[in-house]
């Protein structure tokens, strides 16, 4: 009997993590626009939308009760708590996007990246770093979305987070955004060119 491979096992799952303020959103937005057949995985979160953020585009904004209901029903592929809010990716989001034939792109933290790597076979992990912590602080301040206390909180979390991030496969330093975009695209294209047995088998069975 022929076995059917679930769509999420046939596609590549690119997971990008970075300390808040590094420039991950700028980088990911650019790359998702430029690379064909790459969809952004939209997370669920209980945090409030920021100005210009849209429901179902940047995040699925849900209540804590709704989020915890999904967790209790085992419907989340990964989830975590950051700054008192829940963030997570639903299994449905992954399956639905992969079934369109696209690779998926995740902007999630280290704990989420670890959970996805444990549960899915084809996860590629990429860490984005700022050129220095001084530059990180400057970017957080100049973005003007955080008050002083929140900038301090994010810097402290960055230092803690970085201690656990040496297991990622790839690293990109976001100094010049243009160069970082080029590096990220190169990783994606190189991973897509990896030789899988199914390619040769497919040719032989044409």
- Sites of contact with ligand ADP (CB under 6 A): 18, 20-26, 139, 142-143, 174, 176-177
Which member of 28, 112, 129, 158 binds ligand 5GP (CB under 6 A)?
A: 112
Assess 86 for contact with ligand 5GP (CB under 6 A).
no
Show the tokens assigned to 6. Answer: 């679930």
Assess 78 for contact with ligand 5GP (CB under 6 A).
yes
| Closest to ligand ADP by CB, 11 or 130 | 130
What is the rounded radius of gyration, in angstroms, for the C-alpha atoms of the chain? 18
The DSSP annotation for 142-203 comes to: HHT-S-HHHHHHHHHHHHHHHTT-TT-SEEEE-SSHHHHHHHHHHHHHHHHTS--HHHHHHH
Token pair 């849209």 is found at 54
Closest contact distance (angstroms) between CB of 99 and ligand ADP is: 28
Assess 80 for contact with ligand 5GP (CB under 6 A).
yes
Closest contact distance (angstroms) between CB of 58 and ligand 5GP is: 8
Query: Which option in ligand ADP, ligand 5GP, none does residue 124 bind, with CB closer than 5 to 8 A by kind?
Result: none
Helices 177-192 and 24-34: crossing angle, nearest 10°? 50
Query: Which option in ligand 5GP, ligand ADP, none does residue 139 bind, with CB closer than 5 to 8 A by kind?
Result: ligand ADP
- Closest residue to ligand ADP, Cβ-based? 23
Neighbours of 127 (CB within 10 A): 24
Assess 75 for contact with ligand 5GP (CB under 6 A).
no
* Beta-bridge partner residues of 205: none
Helices 133-143 and 148-162: crossing angle, nearest 10°? 150
Query: Which option in ligand ADP, ligand 5GP, none does residue 22 bind, with CB closer than 5 to 8 A by kind?
Result: ligand ADP
Query: Which option in ligand 5GP, ligand ADP, none does residue 142 bind, with CB closer than 5 to 8 A by kind?
Result: ligand ADP
Cβ proximity of 132 and 20 under 8 Å: no
End-to-end Cα, the chain, rounded Å = 20
Per CB under 6 A, residues contacting ligand 5GP are 20, 43, 47, 78, 80, 82, 87-89, 107-109, 111-112
């Amino acid at each position: 009997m022929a076995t059917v491979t679930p769509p999420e096992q046939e596609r590549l799952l690119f997971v990008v993590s970075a300390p808040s303020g590094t420039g991950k959103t700028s980088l990911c937005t650019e790359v998702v626009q430029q690379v064909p057949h790459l969809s952004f995985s939209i997370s669920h979160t209980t945090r409030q939308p920021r100005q210009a953020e849209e429901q179902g585009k940047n995040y699925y904004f849900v209540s804590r009760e709704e989020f915890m209901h999904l967790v209790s029903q085992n419907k989340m592929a990964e989830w975590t708590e950051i700054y008192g809010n829940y963030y997570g990716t639903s299994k449905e989001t992954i399956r639905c996007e992969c079934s369109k034939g696209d690779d998926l792109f995740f902007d999630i933290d280290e704990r989420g990246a670890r959970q996805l790597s444990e549960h899915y076979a084809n996860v590629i992990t990429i860490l984005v770093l700022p050129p220095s912590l001084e530059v990180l602080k400057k970017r957080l301040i100049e973005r003007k979305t955080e008050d002083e206390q929140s900038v301090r909180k994010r810097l402290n979390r960055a230092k803690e987070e970085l201690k656990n991030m040496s297991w990622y496969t790839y690293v990109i330093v976001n100094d010049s955004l243009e160069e970082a975009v080029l590096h990220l695209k190169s990783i994606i294209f190189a991973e897509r060119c990896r030789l899988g047995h199914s390619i040769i088998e497919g040719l032989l069975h044409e």
